[in-house]
Structure 1
Amino acid sequence: VVVGIDRLGRNAAEVTTTIRDLNQRDIVLRSLREAIDTSNATGRMVAGVFASLAELELELGGERRSAAREARRARGQHIGRPKALDDKKAALVQRVHASGASASTIANAVGVSEAAIYRVLSESKLSE
């Protein structure tokens, strides 16, 4: 028993291979979401069709995400996770660190991770 046919593999070929392997061991597969039973030829055929559709949906989703990223790039919008520190806070971090404060102390005061502090400091060294 599986929740959905798409849980059996990453693509239609893997799903079909898994179903074939289970059938060779006399294991009947039942999918809850698609209401598929592979105990007969029709069920196995329907499972293959659903596996192909799941793979198609996965590929279409990737294409949509890629198109959305390209559209954001074309509009000049930021892609990805927002920075932990804006430019104003980054400048503050650099000044406080230059005065001798540790990265740990600065991170606690600003409310970000030490890694974010080190990232800001290394970026400032690269831009100099």
Structure 2
Amino acid sequence: MSSGRLSATRDALAAALAGLGTVHAVMPSRLTPPAVVLEQADPWVTTADQPNRFGLMRYQVTLTVRPGANPDQEQALTDMVEDALDALAGPHDWTVQQVSAPLNLQVGEAVYLAARLDVTAPTYLTTD
């Protein structure tokens, strides 16, 4: 991926979640679950209450599971959310702010059961 500071932070998030499924940096036009989609949240970077030269990056992480029977999808999504929480609690600076209730995510003509995690991490904004 990229080598900039903001990109490096996103890449670290992608690496932390790589074991959950295919990780996409943007919402693809076609999705093959299980998949993880990383999207910048709004605001993407804030500096309030951060030490000098630091910002707080925000991402919305969307987790999707394979289509199937409702109970099976619900359990697969619960397991995926738990795995994501475990992955982000590891040796990373990511903080999960909230996890959405299950939702139906439409991508193209397909609809997938999904959940969204709002996550944040501190990052350097300058090199000096």
TM-score by length of 2: 0.24
Structure possessing the higher radius of gyration over alpha carbons: 1
The structure with more strand, counted as a fraction of residues: 2
Identify the structure with bigger relative contact order (alpha carbons < 8 Å, sequence gap 6+).
2
The structure with more helix, counted as a fraction of residues: 1
TM-score by length of 1: 0.24
